Amino acid sequence: MTRKLFVIALGLALFVAPGCATVFSGSTDAVNFSSEPTGANVYVNGQMLGKTPFEVVLKSDQSHNVEFRKSGFENKTVVLTNSVGAGWVVLDIVFGLIPVVVDAASGAWYGLDQDHVAAALEPVENAPPTE
């Protein structure tokens, strides 16, 4: 009986050792981008990632600067923020030091605050019409 309990406890410890957030949520989030009008170029942290509408996976342990650009329209900048999921922190503390260290180091405690970023672009005043 003692050996069986030991095997069960060991199995549970190996399952939670990586950290609850690392196992169940990871350190990235999928984000959808859209604009009105469609077809705007989207730059995330200065890098062009696509034209609206589209979806991309971003690291969740940092905030991201998002800029929408389309000829004939004013650029629109949005900050995509992140936050710590308090539930993950509590679960890690319950299961011990190793999950706390793993999830803190991997950034898995964090999640992006939005899964969809939309921009309503305003036409540039006195701009020539675009086709």
CATH of 17-120, picked from 1.25.40, 1.10.287, 3.40.50, 2.60.40, is 2.60.40
Please tell me whether the overall predicted TM-score, pTM, comes out greater than 0.75 for this model.
Answer: no
pLDDT score, position 18 = 47
**Beta carbons within 10 angstroms of residue 45's beta carbon:** 14
Asked if residue 66 lies in contact with residue 46, where contact means CB atoms within 8 angstroms, the answer is no
pLDDT score, position 26 = 58
Burial 101-126, CB ≥16 within 10 A → b, else e: ebbbebbbbbbbeeeebebebeeeee
Q: For the chain of 131 residues, list the mean pLDDT of each consecutive stretch of 10.
A: 63 48 60 96 97 93 93 96 61 52 57 88 77 52
pLDDT score, position 112 = 80
Structure-block tokens of residue 89: 């922190």
pLDDT score, position 83 = 74
pLDDT score, position 22 = 44
Q: Where would I find the H helices in 33-96?
A: 86-95
pLDDT score, position 57 = 92
